[in-house]
Structure 1
Amino acid sequence: MTTAERATPDTAAGLEPASAPESGATPRRFAIAVLVLGSIGLVASFALMLERLAVLADDSYVPSCSFNALVSCTEAMSSPQGALFGFPNPLLGVLGFPVVIATGAALLAGARMARWYWVGLQVGVTLALVFIHFLIFTSLYRLGALCPYCMVVWAVTIPLFVMVTQRNLRLLPSDASSGAARAGRWLQAYQAPVLAAWFLVIGALAVVQLWDAIFALFA
């Protein structure tokens, strides 16, 4: 075995090399963005959880996030989809976003996560992405109402998924010329347009589907 082929202590332990940026060092702005997005998501999830508990305690309570027939979290909380796994959906955010926050804080402090950690985080943000799109579909095509706190969670989950995905595609594969690495570099370069297009599509679907309710508010 040559020196180049011999595993370093870091790689043998599943950690990323700390030498060059291309080998896995995480940019400071990535860590800050993860920390900020996770914090926003946690605040929104916690606020929605408090509103849900208030409704459970008092059936006559009107949540602070319910403004009218279109912008309301009452429908989402009272629907079967609002407790898809047998408990209020916001609890998932209350439990999940602290992991995101801890990741951002650890990266800012200079920590280097093992590869298994990044794989686990990728699985987590991917499942979260699928789940929020199910909730988006439910809000637009089943409930006909938009929950403000829910939309905040949607708005932070999508960029978190894109950021973690482009980072893992670029840095997890050992071959920098692999298709995954190239896809990661492309996603990193066009991250802003991808996110803008993503949100525009969701916004357009919302306007088309809820046009009558939107028109009624201003009629």
Structure 2
Amino acid sequence: MFQTPTTPDTPESRPVPGLSHRFTGFILLAAGLLGFVPSFVLAVEKYWLLINPFYSPSCTLGETLSCVPVMTSWQAEVFGFPNPYLGIAGFAVIAATGAALLGRAQMSHWYWAGLQIGVTFGTLFVGWLMYQSLFRIQALCPYCMLVWAATFLSLWYVTVESASRWSRNWTGYGRRLAHVMIRRHDIAILAWFVLVGLLVNIAAFNFS
């Protein structure tokens, strides 16, 4: 009889301890709601703007601090329909995942892999929209900025959880990186807000 070799149960073969499911669930639920609400409002405001071109959306706070230039640009419908529809669907999944984690649900690895892929592509798309808004359209959409924040929060904490889940297959630098990501998870959030703040100020200085 041949016996299938097994991996020794050592600290190096175990996943790096991650953040608590309760904490991750709370963050994802908050990020999901933070992104879902403005996405929904933008979708409604877009509808009213299509019906009435003179409609003034609730996010119109000034000449440059306004959603209208963004909502009426071609970038607002890259896939042939309003971008907020993507946000409504995507952030609903994020919020539901957070609620499930708070309820102590166990997410399978395939689900988490799919979620990781989804938030990664979503962040790339939102990053492109951010660039377009700041340096091409030259307008600041308050609701869009909430979506920016919600997107990065979702990406980062899904990635931190992924690092913990998959670290059992990592060695050396990979495991050390996972440790740093988990222990210093708040540093990346702070750095992102500082970076976006700088970009907004640079772009606003060049607004015509």
TM interval, short-chain normalised:
0.7 to 0.9
- Contact 2:16–2:178 at 8 Å: present in 1 too? no
Please give the alpha-carbon distance, in whole angstroms, between the structure 1 residues aligned to 2:172 and 2:122. Answer: 27
Q: Secondary structure at the match of 1:174?
A: helix
Structure 1 segment 99-118 matched on structure 2, within 5 A? 99-118=93-112
Report if aligned partners of 2:35, 2:146 keep a CA contact under 8 Å in 1. yes
Structure 2 counterpart SS, 1:71: coil
Which of 138, 150, 156 matches 2:144? Answer: 150
Alignment equivalent of 2:166, drawn from 165, 168, 172: 172
2:65 is matched with which residue? Answer: 71
Tell me: CA distance 1:178–1:21, structure 2 relative to 1, closer, same or farther (3 Å): closer
Q: For 1:160 and 1:195, locate their aligned partners in 2 and report how far apart those are by CA, in whole Å.
A: 11
Structure-to-structure mapping, 1:195-214, within 5 angstroms:
195-213=189-207
- TM-score, scaled to structure 2: 0.88
Does the 8 Å contact 1:66/1:73 carry over to 2?
yes
- Residue 59 in structure 1 maps to residue 47 in structure 2: no
Q: Give the conservation status (yes or no) of the 8 Å contact 1:51–1:63.
A: yes
> Which whole-Å CA distance do the structure 2 matches of 1:125 and 1:4 have between them?
34
Q: CA deviation at 1:179?
A: 3.8
The alpha-carbon deviation at position 29 of structure 1 amounts to 1.0
Structure 1 runs of 4+ aligned residues shifted over 4 Å read 2-5, 20-26
**TM-score (ref. length: structure 1):** 0.84
Shift of 1:180: 3.5
- What is the CA RMSD across the aligned residues, in angstroms? 2.3
Deviations 1:90-115 (A, max 9, x none): 00011111111111111111211110
- The one of the two structures with greater contact order (alpha-carbon pairs below 8 A, sep at least 6) is 2
Q: Which amino acid aligns with 1:150?
A: C
How far the C-alpha of 1:4 sits from its partner, in A, is 5.3
Q: Give the number of equivalent residue pairs.
A: 201
What's the secondary structure of 2:167's corresponding residue? Answer: coil
Deviation for aligned residue 1:209: 2.0
